[in-house]
């Protein structure tokens, strides 16, 4: 970006408007050498977040999350092998440019200790109400161990569950960035929900839930077959995987990368991103091209889970 652009390229908009980055806790709280003291010191997550945001345009919306583990497709080709990195330092950033017909925005709801009931008028301010083009909401709860955190998450999820939209996500350790608020760290005693909302008539999406009974290659691939049957266009599409820390190689009897491998078998050209967290949000749900909701059962979906994996496809429309 420091190189002067030829005149013919100056009107090409390739800068990111929205950024989602996720890293494991070790990446954000690792050690770096402090030359003044000539010894290693522990990095502060706020320092790391600020350093990352300095690399991005000032008007860019940034949502940063810290999680126990990472799911990432390495750069280069979309057909690269997605990797479940359950231990060790890792992270990724998704940079969304301006996309015709698509609006992506961040939001944040924190629990108000004075009010037990969530003020749903805040949904409208976040673009989650009175928005006929809303298609997908990725939700991430933080400080889920706090008293009242699960109840608060239900207050957010239940009204959204009544709409014909895709809901997916999970519980993370913390969020480090939410630049739309100029807020780089949540209060230590607070709990809440952050997320990304995708709006636009061209967006298509589908999710499947891999429950506790999905514990071998055959059943994992059966779940991917359900996702494949949604017939979501695979060009200009991103896959998300939100898994419990109790799954991965421990769940599959020491066989690593099982679910990411199953995804790649059915979606060889769709990059996959996500994390291992402390609880999952999602269900089996499909939004087709004409926006018809199809659910797998007649009862209202329970969206909050443990020891599961949620796989999600988001198609951002055809590119010209």
Read off the tokens for 297.
Answer: 């059962």
Q: Which residue did the predictor score with more confidence, 9 or 146?
A: 146
Mean pLDDT of 70-79: 79
pLDDT tens per residue, range 223-278: 999 999 899 999 999 999 999 998 988 888 878 999 999 999 999 999 999 999 99
Is residue 71 a contact partner of residue 243, using CB atoms and an 8 Å limit? yes
What are the chain's domains? 103-199 (3.30.1330), 204-315 (no CATH)
Name the 3-class secondary structure at 18: strand
Is residue 205 a contact partner of residue 313, using CB atoms and an 8 Å limit? yes
Beta strands 304-305 and 280-281, pairing class = antiparallel
What predicted TM-score, i.e. pTM, was given to this entire model? 0.86
When pLDDT is cut at 50, 70 and 90, the band that residue 185 belongs to is: very low
Distance CA 140, CA 191 (A): 11
User: What's the whole-number average pLDDT of the chain?
Assistant: 82
């Amino acid at each position: 970006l420091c190189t002067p652009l030829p005149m013919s390229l100056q009107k090409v908009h390739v800068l990111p408007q929205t950024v989602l980055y996720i890293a494991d806790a070790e990446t954000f709280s690792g050690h770096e050498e402090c030359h003044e003291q000539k010894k290693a010191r522990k990095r502060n997550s706020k320092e790391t977040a600020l350093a990352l945001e300095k690399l991005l345009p000032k008007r860019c919306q940034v949502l940063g999350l810290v999680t126990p583990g990472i799911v990432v497709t390495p750069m280069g080709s979309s057909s690269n092998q997605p990797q479940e990195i359950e231990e060790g330092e890792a992270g990724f950033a998704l940079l969304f440019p301006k996309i015709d017909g698509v609006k992506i925005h961040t939001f944040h709801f924190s629990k108000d200790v004075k009010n037990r009931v969530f003020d749903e008028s805040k949904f409208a301010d976040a673009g989650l109400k009175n928005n006929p083009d809303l298609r997908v909401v990725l939700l991430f709860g933080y400080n889920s161990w706090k008293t009242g955190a699960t109840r608060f998450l239900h207050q957010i999820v239940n009204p959204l569950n009544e709409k014909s939209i895709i809901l997916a996500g999970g519980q993370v350790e913390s969020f480090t960035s939410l630049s739309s608020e100029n807020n780089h760290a949540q209060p230590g005693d607070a709990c809440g929900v952050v997320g990304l909302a995708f709006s636009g008539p061209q967006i298509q999406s589908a999710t499947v839930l891999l429950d506790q009974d999905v514990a071998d290659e055959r059943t994992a691939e059966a779940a991917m077959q359900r996702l494949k049957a949604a017939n979501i266009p695979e060009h200009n599409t991103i896959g998300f995987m939100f898994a419990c820390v109790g799954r991965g190689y421990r769940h599959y009897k020491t066989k690593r990368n099982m679910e990411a491998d199953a995804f790649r078998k059915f979606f060889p050209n769709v990059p996959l991103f996500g994390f291992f967290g402390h609880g999952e949000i999602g269900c089996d749900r499909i939004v087709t091209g004409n926006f018809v909701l199809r659910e797998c059962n007649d009862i209202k979906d329970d969206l909050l889970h443990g020891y599961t994996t949620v796989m999600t496809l988001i198609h951002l429309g055809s590119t010209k």
